[in-house]
Amino acid sequence: MSLEKRNVPTVTFLTDAFAKYGQGLAKMQGMPELPTIVIPHPIAGRSPDELRDKVRAVYEQVREALTRKT
């Protein structure tokens, strides 16, 4: 059983190029409310500093998703 189905707060990161696809997969798996955070594509080949900047830009969304009441 997945963490999400055990009510363990999680966040799924998707790049904007795959956001609709990823959200569709979550819905097909019976998790339409799965918290997703969309960050700019691409991430492959980016330096750790660039990736940190992308995540820092959405930090507040991550915090809210992980601390929400279910």
pLDDT in tens, 1-59: 678 778 888 999 999 999 999 999 999 999 898 999 999 999 999 999 999 999 899 99
pTM: 0.80
What is the pLDDT, as a whole number, of residue 3?
A: 85
What is the pLDDT, as a whole number, of residue 1?
A: 67
Question: Whose CA is closest to 3, among 37, 31, 38, 32?
Answer: 31
pLDDT in tens, 57-67: 999 999 999 99
Torsions phi, psi of 38, nearest 5? -100, 125
Q: Which residue type occupies 35?
A: P
